[in-house]
Chain A
Amino acid sequence: MTESSAITPEQVEHLASLSRIAMSEDELKSLAGDLTTILGNVARVNEVAGDDVPATSHPIPLTNVMRPDVVGPTLSSEQALAAAPAAADDKFLVPQILGEE
């Protein structure tokens, strides 16, 4: 991993906002350093993986796991809402959604 691909505190801040995680300046700085180190270590894989090694998303050599299009058991709305912090009219009640339509 080259110097230019080091993770900056600004990138961490952006990522934190996308992830809805509040972070202090200090946390952003230290996490930027940690992430740079982690990514640097992971990037060493590039040194051993040649062009003949395809990108791997799944370690298990399985493909085409599918099910027939047949209806199975469902939850009732009572069951579905049992663990919801709030509900009304058989629906999940969530706080006001801000900032977008």
Chain B
Amino acid sequence: MKYEDAIKKYDPVIGIEVHVELGTATKMFDAAPNTFGGGPNTNITPTSLGLPGSLPVVNEKGVEYAIKIGLALGCEIAETCRFARKNYFYPDVPKDFQTSQSDEPIAAEGQVEVELSDGTLVTVPVERAHMEEDAGKNTHVGGATGRIHGADHSLVDYNRAGVPLVEIVTHPITGTGERAAEVAAAYVRTLRDIFRALDVSEARMEQGNVRADVNVSLRESPDAPLGTRTETKNVNSFRSIERAVRFEIARQATLLEAGEKIVQETRHFHEESGETSSGRPKSDADDYRYFPEPDLVPLQPSREWVDRLRETLPELPAQKRRRLLAEWKFSDLEMRDIVNAGLLEAIEDTVTAGAKPSAARKWWTGEVARLANQEDRHPTEIVTPAQVAGLVDLIGQGKLNDKLAKEVLSGVVAGEGEPAEVMDARGLEIVEDTGALEAAVEEAIAANPDVVEKIKGGKMQAIGALMGPIMKATRGQADAGKAKELILAKIGV
């Protein structure tokens, strides 16, 4: 059954667990550096390895970041919470348990406002955000594909073991219907933007800083009880999240149509095919035998600390978009295009550097985007906001018109220097030769009496027909504003 048919027949319910690696200097429970890369098994201490006699100590910065995330999601910050041992045997956890939080998370009950590409707002309810540690990394050796099946043995690197994580769990997200897959991806993107705004993580999906598990279930109607869910693990790009949800909805609908049952299990997403495949049956939470971590005493973040962190919260992406929309006076559509193109920051910085919002928007979404597109790069990779602001400034001073500014821009992109340098080097500055301009204007008026009549008759847009010959006569260097003034003066309108 296709996704489009599946969502007509069934009501999808999704739930998302997002893990974010915090950008602290050290791990959550020991002083080993929290850095990406480095030789295998070098960023570790006896505590990272769970060696006998080692004791964990909580990283204060990790708690601070977790509280900030909780506050940004509108959660209540617990007055008291505990760490717990989540027990399971797998070689990537050297202690045979993961230090996590169970029934007492640091943050609970919040919500995230998610904006879809067409501007529709969806509120995603957050159940909890809790602190835990990352696991090490297994490499399976001997199998053809590097997967477990067929592997002779596995190699384990514990550099990542103990890296601070915050896991954010949603309540079931209902009522999204045909947009379920889109909402899932937009939600994770929104969280990513929030992590970056809070400066608690680099939040790079491609490095695994942010990882999502997506739960999907179907039911006959919104009034029916929740169906059996599957959990697709470690879906690591926005596009994959959307594809995984679409695939699961279609797959489950096909099974239900055939009268079969959905198996509660974890599934794996395959990037190449866009499909999911069966993993292991989902363990009952009881099987993890959670119990309070005896080596870590309870955490009771003082209300003063929480209030202080609340005061330092930066403006969040959604608030910022609303503020800038009001300040810049763009249309909703223009704003959405900017956000979807990833140009909000660039335009904001360009405006801060002195450009008018409309001019900044025009250049970034126009010529800069066009040049970037030719090279298959992002506009922000080929010029800086300061350079665009410089270009806009030269136009404002009357030294460049749009046509010449495009030439200057291509020079800047080619690495020839800053806009003013390129303008000087290429000799593109508009020469204040009023005599030449006047001559060109007179010539154009004389050659186009019909156009002149129209202008006299009040049809101002007819002036455009005179600009072509004037630009041609001045080799594109005429200031359009001045030319227009001269035309009107000479015609006597």
Residues from 12 to 33 in A contacting B, C-beta threshold 8 Å:
18, 20
What are the residues of chain A within 8 A of B299 when measuring CB–CB?
Answer: 63-64
Q: Are B59 and A80 in contact (CB under 8 A)?
A: no
Contact partner, B91, options A62, A65, A92, Cβ 8 Å: A92
Q: How far is the CB of B20 from chain A (nearest CB, A)?
A: 17
- Please encode chain A, from 67 to 93, with 1 for each CB lying within 8 Å of some chain B CB and 0 for all others: 111111111110011000000111111
The bracket for how many chain A residues form the interface is 35 or more
Contact stretch, chosen from B35-43, B450-458, B463-471: B35-43
What are the residues of chain A within 8 A of B148 when measuring CB–CB?
Answer: 96-98, 100-101
Q: Are B24 and A69 in contact (CB under 8 A)?
A: yes
Known pairs A66-B63, A81-B41, A93-B155; A71 contacts B26 (CB<8 A)? yes
Known pairs A62-B297, A63-B299, A80-B49; A69 contacts B158 (CB<8 A)? no
Known pairs A57-B82, A97-B90; A74 contacts B32 (CB<8 A)? yes
Residues from 73 to 118 in B contacting A, C-beta threshold 8 Å:
80, 82, 87, 89-91
Q: Are B45 and A74 in contact (CB under 8 A)?
A: yes
- Please encode chain B, from 1 to 32, with 1 for each CB lying within 8 Å of some chain A CB and 0 for all others: 00000000000000000000000111000111
The bracket for how many chain B residues form the interface is 35 or more
Q: Are B155 and A99 in contact (CB under 8 A)?
A: no
Q: Are B45 and A72 in contact (CB under 8 A)?
A: yes
Q: How far is the CB of A76 from chain B (nearest CB, A)?
A: 7
What are the residues of chain B within 8 A of A50 when measuring CB–CB?
Answer: none
Cα distance A101–B143 when bound, in Å? 12
Whether a CB of chain B sits under 8 angstroms from the CB of A94 is yes
Contact stretch, chosen from B287-295, B312-320, B340-348, B478-486: B287-295
Main secondary structure of the interface of A (DSSP, over half): loop
Whether a CB of chain B sits under 8 angstroms from the CB of A38 is no
Report the number of A-B residue pairs with Cβ-Cβ less than 8 Å.
138
Q: How far is the CB of B54 from chain A (nearest CB, A)?
A: 11
Whether a CB of chain A sits under 8 angstroms from the CB of B251 is no
Q: Are B153 and A66 in contact (CB under 8 A)?
A: no
Contact partner, B155, options A66, A67, A70, A92, Cβ 8 Å: A92
What are the residues of chain B within 8 A of A70 when measuring CB–CB?
Answer: 25-26, 31
Whether a CB of chain A sits under 8 angstroms from the CB of B255 is no
Q: Are A69 and B91 in contact (CB under 8 A)?
A: no
Residues from 122 to 176 in B contacting A, C-beta threshold 8 Å:
138-140, 142, 147-149, 151-158
Contact partner, A90, options B39, B91, B147, B292, Cβ 8 Å: B39
Whether a CB of chain A sits under 8 angstroms from the CB of B298 is yes
Whether a CB of chain B sits under 8 angstroms from the CB of A58 is yes
Known pairs A94-B153, A97-B140; A58 contacts B294 (CB<8 A)? yes
Q: Are B59 and A69 in contact (CB under 8 A)?
A: yes
A81's nearest neighbour on chain B, judged by CB, is B41
Q: Are A66 and B58 in contact (CB under 8 A)?
A: yes
Known pairs A71-B26, A91-B156, A94-B154; A80 contacts B41 (CB<8 A)? yes
Whether a CB of chain B sits under 8 angstroms from the CB of A60 is yes
Q: Are B58 and A74 in contact (CB under 8 A)?
A: no
Contact partner, A66, options B59, B140, B268, Cβ 8 Å: B59
Q: Are B298 and A58 in contact (CB under 8 A)?
A: yes
What are the residues of chain A within 8 A of B139 when measuring CB–CB?
Answer: 91
Q: How far is the CB of A75 from chain B (nearest CB, A)?
A: 5
What are the residues of chain B within 8 A of A76 when measuring CB–CB?
Answer: 42
Cα distance A25–B386 when bound, in Å? 77
Q: How far is the CB of B356 from chain A (nearest CB, A)?
A: 43
B49's nearest neighbour on chain A, judged by CB, is A80
What are the residues of chain B within 8 A of A80 when measuring CB–CB?
Answer: 41-42, 44, 49, 158
Q: Are B154 and A96 in contact (CB under 8 A)?
A: yes
Contact partner, B151, options A69, A77, A97, Cβ 8 Å: A97
What are the residues of chain B within 8 A of A81 when measuring CB–CB?
Answer: 41
Q: Are A64 and B300 in contact (CB under 8 A)?
A: yes
Q: Are B60 and A68 in contact (CB under 8 A)?
A: yes
Q: Are A96 and B151 in contact (CB under 8 A)?
A: yes
Residues from 31 to 72 in B contacting A, C-beta threshold 8 Å:
31-33, 39-46, 49, 57-63
Known pairs A71-B31, A91-B139, A101-B147; A63 contacts B39 (CB<8 A)? no
A57's nearest neighbour on chain B, judged by CB, is B292
Whether a CB of chain A sits under 8 angstroms from the CB of B403 is no
What are the residues of chain A within 8 A of B80 when measuring CB–CB?
Answer: 63
Q: How far is the CB of B347 from chain A (nearest CB, A)?
A: 35
What are the residues of chain B within 8 A of A73 when measuring CB–CB?
Answer: 31, 45
Q: Are A97 and B60 in contact (CB under 8 A)?
A: no
Cα distance A66–B60 when bound, in Å? 5
What are the residues of chain B within 8 A of A95 when measuring CB–CB?
Answer: 153-154
Whether a CB of chain A sits under 8 angstroms from the CB of B475 is no
Q: Which chain B residues have a beta carbon within 8 Å of chain A's beta carbons?
A: 24-26, 30-33, 39-46, 49, 57-63, 80, 82, 87, 89-91, 138-140, 142, 147-149, 151-158, 268, 279-280, 287, 289, 292, 294, 296-301
* 20 A–B contacts, CB within 8 A, in A order: A18-B289, A57-B298, A63-B300, A67-B31, A67-B60, A69-B59, A69-B60, A72-B45, A74-B33, A74-B42, A75-B41, A80-B41, A80-B49, A91-B40, A92-B157, A96-B148, A96-B153, A97-B148, A99-B280, A100-B279
Report the 4 A-B pairs with minimum CB-CB distance, sorted nearest first: A72-B31, A57-B292, A69-B61, A91-B155
